[in-house]
Structure 1
Amino acid sequence: MTSAIVFDIDGTLANTPAVIAELIADVVHGLGASPSRAQVLATVGKPLEASLARLLGVSVDSAATAEAAARYRARFATDVLSQGPALLLPGVPEGLDDLRAAGHLLGIATSKISSSALALLEATGILGRFDTVVCHDMVERGKPHPDMALRALADLGAPAAASWYVGDTVTDMAMARGAALRTVGVSYGVDSAEDLVAAGADHVVADFPSVIRALLHGTADTVRDLAGTRPEPTGALT
């Protein structure tokens, strides 16, 4: 049976939440808003325009939101992409290679728009490891709705029962569960282990090598292991 593993990017494969949050904060500060750090961090991994509008206290289709998005995207290359492979979390390239060597198809489902996602994957040197990249602007409804995960599974020709989603937020877990995917939550990104557990993650792990051990062997150094709580088997992929 064909199996797929679909990943989030920010906070899961790339250590980008802090630099993205800093960029978002600088952009909205420049337009007169003063959100707290917690409010800014809560927007990482969510659709950009909606997040900027919320921080600015305006509507998503306002001129201020459009200006903020333009400023953010103009600086994304210099502030984020310029860091290249250094943005990747430890063990990511090797772990992805191990999954591919084991015969698993790999995909991305991210709240980034296509141009930003592809640019980040290219800058970090891992774009070629993925068989499909599904972005917010490619589906009718973004996270937490299951549309992106379902699109990725369709692209890969893989059933949900044989596949997994790996992400760092409760919206990642909600999307994956809506698509009937099993899940690995990572506690080193945006949301806490407790939040990921509450969102129904099958496994919650503290580093990327543990993601790979959980997927390939059904074991990992877990923050909290929820194996056996889902109707589908939660051991190693077959």
Structure 2
Amino acid sequence: MTSAIVFDIDGTLADTPSAIAELIGDVVRGLGASPSRAEVLATVGKPLEASLAGLLGVSVDDDDATAEAAARYRARFAADVLSRGPALLLPGVPEGLDRLRAAGHLLGVATSKISTSALALLEAGGILDRFDTVVCHDMVERGKPHPDMALRALADLGAPAARSWYVGDTVTDMTMARAAALRTVGVSYGVDSAEALTAAGADHVVADFPSVIRVLAHGTAVTPHDLAGTSPEPTGALT
């Protein structure tokens, strides 16, 4: 029976949160806002328009302010983020994805990015061809933390949730995946802490991408399950 592994992008496959936060901060400050770094970082991985509206202190329905901010962000995204190319990827990502594909697993993405941004980022990183489906915020009725994107990815891949996994770095990732009945690996090197990911119900929490692959392949990680030091029993590894 087919098994699938679905990934988030920012903070999970690509080391983009800092670059994206810097760009978002520049955009909203250029429009008169003065958010803290923590406030900006908290928006990474969430839908862009809603994040920009919140930082600007306007309603997301304020089309003029939100559209202006989004246009400025997207105009600079290629130069400020995509230009980094494969250097955007976290250590071990291409090799890990290749290992999973060689073992026969279908791979997908479910991301809060819109389609054009997600595809451009995966292409810039040189890993777009590793994925059998890429599901984005603009392709479903409801984004994270609702399960719609994860369910769409599973449907595209023809894989049951009971044999599949989601890998992400935020509480909303874990909430979405659990709502879709997926098993989960949380990564503590992205936006949210190991403690927050564990509290959100992650089945495993690891500190680097090679450990993600070890969990998916064997049900265990060389690094601890969570940073508090517990080690889980294997839970339906993909072998």
TM-score, normalising length from structure 2? 0.96
Contact kept in structure 2, 1:214 and 1:235, CA below 8 Å: no
Q: How does 1:58-137 map to 2 (within 5 A)?
A: 58-62=58-62, 63-137=64-138
SS in 2 for 1:222: coil
Matched, 1:54 2:84: no
Contact kept in structure 1, 2:220 and 2:232, CA below 8 Å: no
1:75-97 CA-partner distances (Å, limit 9, x unpaired)? 00000000000000000000000
SS in 2 for 1:6: strand
Matched, 1:23 2:23: yes
Which amino acid is 1:184 matched to?
Answer: V
How many equivalent residue pairs? Answer: 234
How big is the shift at 1:16? 0.1
Dislocated runs of 4+, deviation >6 Å = none
Matched, 1:34 2:38: no
1:13-52 CA-partner distances (Å, limit 9, x unpaired)? 0000000000000000000000111100000000000000
How big is the shift at 1:223? 4.7
Matched, 1:180 2:204: no
1:7 is matched with 7
How big is the shift at 1:226? 6.7
How big is the shift at 1:235? 3.5
How big is the shift at 1:237? 1.4
How big is the shift at 1:200? 0.2
How big is the shift at 1:53? 0.3
Q: How does 1:116-195 map to 2 (within 5 A)?
A: 116-195=117-196
Distance 2:34 2:204 in 1: 36
Identity level (%): 87
The answer for unaligned runs of 5 or more in structure 2 is: none
How big is the shift at 1:160? 0.2
How big is the shift at 1:120? 0.2
Distance 2:235 2:142 in 1: 28
1:43 is matched with 43
Q: Cα RMSD between the aligned structures?
A: 1.1
1:59-114 CA-partner distances (Å, limit 9, x unpaired)? 11211111000000000000000000000000000000000011100000000000
Distance 1:165 1:96 in 2: 14
How big is the shift at 1:234? 1.5
How big is the shift at 1:128? 0.1
Distance 1:134 1:180 in 2: 17
Distance 1:116 1:235 in 2: 33
The answer for unaligned runs of 5 or more in structure 1 is: none
Distance 1:190 1:23 in 2: 16
Contact kept in structure 1, 2:224 and 2:231, CA below 8 Å: no
SS in 2 for 1:107: strand
Distance 1:223 1:79 in 2: 34
